[in-house]
Structure 1
Amino acid sequence: MLKRLIYIILLLPVACIDPYKIEVPEGEQLLTVEGAITSGPGPHVITLTRSATYGSDFEGLIRPVTQATVVVRDDLGKITFLAESVDARGSYFTPASFSAEVGRSYTLLIETQEGKLYSSFPERVESVPNLEKLSVKTLTIDQEGGGNPKSGIQLIAEVNDPADQNNFYYWRNGPSVYILETRPDLFTPRPSDSNPSRDPQPKACCAVCYREEFSNNQSLFLAIDDNFNGLTTQIPVAFIEDDGLRFVNKFRIDIKQLGISQEAYRFLRLVKQQAEISGSIFDPPPATIRGNMISLDNPDEVVLGYFIAAGESVKRIYVDKDDLTFKQNKAIIPDDCLTIPGTSVDAPADWRP
C-alpha cells in the first residue's frame, strides 16, 4: 500500500508556484501637534509631525511637517507668526519677545504646504502660584536580575495653592547645565596606517567644561488641587537620571510650573495613564487620544496632540554631588571635554551656585 501511494505521488505533475505580491498601503498619516505657549519669556515652540496609525506597518515612522504657516491668535484678534527652525525642521518658534498674557485666550492656526487648514479650540491662560522652593531626594531603582541599580534625583516642589480657584498643575524641565569632567590625559586615537600606535596620546586641553542639555522627564508630572486646595503641600515634579556624569560635580536645572486648563489636564492625564500601562494581557490596547486640534476641511479627520496655553513660574536649583545619598560609578570619557556637544570651558554668565 505504501509503495502504491509513493508511485501515485510521483505521477502528480510538478508545477511552479509564483510568489504572491502583496502591496501594503502606507496608511493614513496623522498630523500631530505638540507644544505650548506660556506667560514666561519666549521663544515658545510648536512641533508638527505626521505619524502612522497604531497597528500600521508604518507605525513609528514620524515625519516633520515642514513649510507650514503657523500662527497664534488671541481673543482680541492679535496675530503672532511662528517661524520654522532651520536646524529643527517641523519646529516653529514664536519671537523671543512673545509671552502669553494671563486671562487671555489663544487659538493655534495651521496651514500646511498642501493648503490644509487646522485649528485648535481656544485655550485660556490660567494664573499659577509662584514656585517658591525645590528640594532634592535621591531615588534608586533595583534592576531585575540584580546588578547596579539605576538612580537619579527626584525634585520636590513646595506648592502654596490658592484657595479661591481650582488649579491644574503641569511641571516641565527647563534647560540644565552641569560641570563635565573628562580625562584628556587618557586619549587614544583610533589605529590607522599612519598612526598604528595604541598608546595614549594625552591632549593638553580640556578636562573641565560646562555642558548644557535639555532632558525631558520620562513621565508626566501633573496635579489637581482637589486634596490640597488653599494649602501648602509638597509634590514630586521631576526625575533626572544619574548617568555617571551629571552629578560628578555641580548640576543646575530650571523647573517650570505651569497652570493649565482643565481640558489640558484631562488630556495629559490620559496620555500619562496610557504611557504607564504595565503591558499585561489584560491591559487595553493603545488608543487614539483626541486633543483640542481639528481639521477645518474635514471634521472627521483625526488630529493628535494638544496646544497648551499656560501661566508659568520658574525655579532654579543647584545640586551638589554631596546632595546625593547614592551615586552611579563615575563615567570615564577619555577625551577633551570640548568634543562633547553643548560644552564650553567658560561658565554661563548666570552661573551662581
Structure 2
Amino acid sequence: MRKTQFLYLLGMVLVSLLFTRCAEVIELNNETSGGQLVIAGRITNGTMGNVVNISRALPEEQAPQLISGALVKVIDQDGMEEAYVETQPGQYELCRDIVQGQVGGVYQLEVQVDGKTYTSSLQEMMPILAEDELRFELDIQDNISGSGTATSTDVVRIFANSTLNSLPEEFYIRWLMEEAYTVVAMDLPDRNFPRYSQQQCYIINELSAQDIFLVDGTEIRNVNLNNREVAVRTVDNSFTNRHYFNIIQLGLNRETHEYWSKLQSLTVRQGSIFDTPPAAVPGNFVSSDPSEEVFGFFEASSADTARLLMTNNDIPLFFLDPCQVDQETFLQIIRVPFECISCLIDREIVEAECIFCSLLPNSTLVRPSYF
C-alpha cells in the first residue's frame, strides 16, 4: 500500500478517535494491497464517546470502505453483554441499557464481520485525576502565503490549566480539544415560502486531530500543568453566536497510553507529517483467522469535560454573514415559483448550506445539552 494511502488512513482513524468517535494508527507496508479491517472504538463512563467505527482498507489511494451490518458487542467483567447499534454506515453506538462503563470496570469488544470474529484485549477503566480549566487570548498571527506575501490573521489562542488532585505512582491522561457553535439558516419570506422553517444547527469540530496531548504520570511530580496552548482558532463568523471550546480529559490505562504514545510519534515531529515514513503501530485486536492482519484499538476511558464559552462580546470584530441577502438577491428569491426552494439552489441564487445548514461538515440538528 502506498504511503499516501497510509496517510489517508491515518487521518481517517484520527478523526474516528474523537471524543464522539474513536481508535488507532495504522501502518500498512508497501507490499500490501488493502483489505485489512480497521476497528476503532471506546467505552466511557458517560453518555458521550461510546462509539465503534469499522472500515476496510482498499488498495491504492481509494478511501476506506465503511463496513455496515457488523455485529458489535461489549462484554464486562461480570459477563454482561450489550450490542452497539449501527447509527450510520460503519458507525456503531452503545445505548448503555445493559453495560454502563464505570471506573474500575474491565471491558472487551467483540466484532463479527463476514463470518470472522475480532476480539480486543481486556481493558480496565482508570479514574479521572485532574481538574481542567480553559482560558483564551486574542492574538494576531503572521503568515506567509504561497506567493511570499505577508498576511495577518486574527486568532484565538486557547490555553489549559490542569490541577492534579493526587499523584499516584502510575497514571496516564490524554486530552482532546473540540469546538462547538451554532449556525442559523437564512430566513426566507413567509409569503413565498410559508412552510419553510429555519434550521438551527450545531457544528462540533475536533481541534486536535494532529495533536495528541498525553501525560505519563510516572514521569511528573508536579500537581499543576499550566498554560499549555491546546488550540489556535482563526476568528471568523462562527463567533457571532455562542462558541464553546471543550477540553475532554480521558483517564487511560498503561496499554492505551503506550498505543497513543506510538501514535504520537507519527503525528508530532519536526517538519511535516510527510517527512518521515511512518512505522507500524500494533493495535489490540486479534482475528479468529490467525493469518489475518487486523488493525485498530478498543479502549475503556473515563472522561470529564471542561468548557469555555465565548460570544461576540469577547471578539471586538465585525462578522460578515456569508448568507446575507442584498436587494438584488432578495428580488431573485421572491421571483422563483411558489415554495420552490430547490429553484433557489439550482439557479445558484443562494448556497444550499445557507438554507440547509445541516449540510455543513460536522453539523447536527440535535442540540447539545450545554447549549
Alignment of 1:146-295 (within 5 A): 146-149=150-153, 151-173=155-177, 176-178=180-182, 180=183, 210-217=200-207, 218-219=209-210, 220-229=212-221, 231-234=223-226, 236=228, 238-239=230-231, 241-242=233-234, 244-277=236-269, 283-295=275-287
The answer (yes or no) to whether the contact 1:177–1:210 under 8 Å persists in 2 is: no
Residues 1:126 and 2:126 aligned together: yes
Deviation at 1:313, TM superposition (A): 1.3
The answer (yes or no) to whether the contact 2:67–2:89 under 8 Å persists in 1 is: yes
| Structure-2 separation of matches of 1:331 and 1:278 | 38
* Secondary structure in 1 matching 2:237: coil
Residue of structure 1 equivalent to 2:105: 104
Deviations 1:300-347 (A, max 9, x none): 43222211111111223211334458x796452236965312577x98
Deviation at 1:348, TM superposition (A): 6.7
* Secondary structure in 2 matching 1:263: helix
2:34 corresponds to which of 15, 28, 45: 28
* Secondary structure in 2 matching 1:301: coil
Deviation at 1:262, TM superposition (A): 1.8
Which residue type is aligned with residue 137 of structure 1? E
| Structure-2 separation of matches of 1:159 and 1:60 | 44
| Structure-1 separation of matches of 2:194 and 2:140 | 37
The answer (yes or no) to whether the contact 2:132–2:160 under 8 Å persists in 1 is: no
Deviations 1:219-268 (A, max 9, x none): 22222234543512226474263362222343124432110112212222
Instruction: Decide whether aligned partners of structure 1 residues 72 and 237 sit closer, same or farther in structure 2, where only a CA change above 3 A counts.
Output: farther
The answer (yes or no) to whether the contact 2:75–2:82 under 8 Å persists in 1 is: yes
The answer (yes or no) to whether the contact 1:120–1:307 under 8 Å persists in 2 is: yes
Alignment of 1:11-160 (within 5 A): 27-42=33-48, 44-52=50-58, 56=59, 58-85=60-87, 88-97=88-97, 98-112=99-113, 114-129=114-129, 131-138=131-138, 141-144=141-144, 145=148, 146-149=150-153, 151-160=155-164
Instruction: Decide whether aligned partners of structure 1 residues 161 and 50 sit closer, same or farther in structure 2, where only a CA change above 3 A counts.
Output: farther
Which residue type is aligned with residue 215 of structure 1? N
The answer (yes or no) to whether the contact 2:161–2:224 under 8 Å persists in 1 is: no
Deviation at 1:165, TM superposition (A): 3.9
Q: Give the fraction of aligned pairs with identical amino acids, expressed as a percent.
A: 20
Residues 1:319 and 2:310 aligned together: yes
Deviation at 1:128, TM superposition (A): 0.8
Instruction: Decide whether aligned partners of structure 1 residues 210 and 182 sit closer, same or farther in structure 2, where only a CA change above 3 A counts.
Output: closer
Structure 1 gap segments, 5+ residues each:
1-24, 188-201
TM-score (norm 2): 0.68
Instruction: Decide whether aligned partners of structure 1 residues 314 and 324 sit closer, same or farther in structure 2, where only a CA change above 3 A counts.
Output: same
Instruction: Decide whether aligned partners of structure 1 residues 170 and 107 sit closer, same or farther in structure 2, where only a CA change above 3 A counts.
Output: same
The answer (yes or no) to whether the contact 2:36–2:293 under 8 Å persists in 1 is: yes
Residue of structure 2 equivalent to 1:340: 357
Deviation at 1:160, TM superposition (A): 1.9
* Secondary structure in 1 matching 2:166: coil
| Structure-2 separation of matches of 1:92 and 1:36 | 11
Q: Aligned pair count?
A: 302
Deviation at 1:284, TM superposition (A): 3.4
* Secondary structure in 2 matching 1:284: coil
| Structure-2 separation of matches of 1:254 and 1:282 | 29
Deviations 1:14-36 (A, max 9, x none): xxxxxxxxxxx992311112221
Deviation at 1:159, TM superposition (A): 2.9
TM-score (norm 1): 0.71
| Structure-1 separation of matches of 2:39 and 2:161 | 29
Which residue type is aligned with residue 107 of structure 1? Q
Deviation at 1:80, TM superposition (A): 1.4
Deviations 1:39-78 (A, max 9, x none): 11257110001114xxx5x234211111111111112211
| Structure-1 separation of matches of 2:159 and 2:273 | 34
| Structure-2 separation of matches of 1:163 and 1:280 | 35
* Secondary structure in 1 matching 2:115: coil
* Secondary structure in 1 matching 2:206: coil
* Secondary structure in 2 matching 1:273: helix
| Structure-2 separation of matches of 1:204 and 1:136 | 43
Instruction: Decide whether aligned partners of structure 1 residues 33 and 142 sit closer, same or farther in structure 2, where only a CA change above 3 A counts.
Output: farther
Residue of structure 2 equivalent to 1:4: none
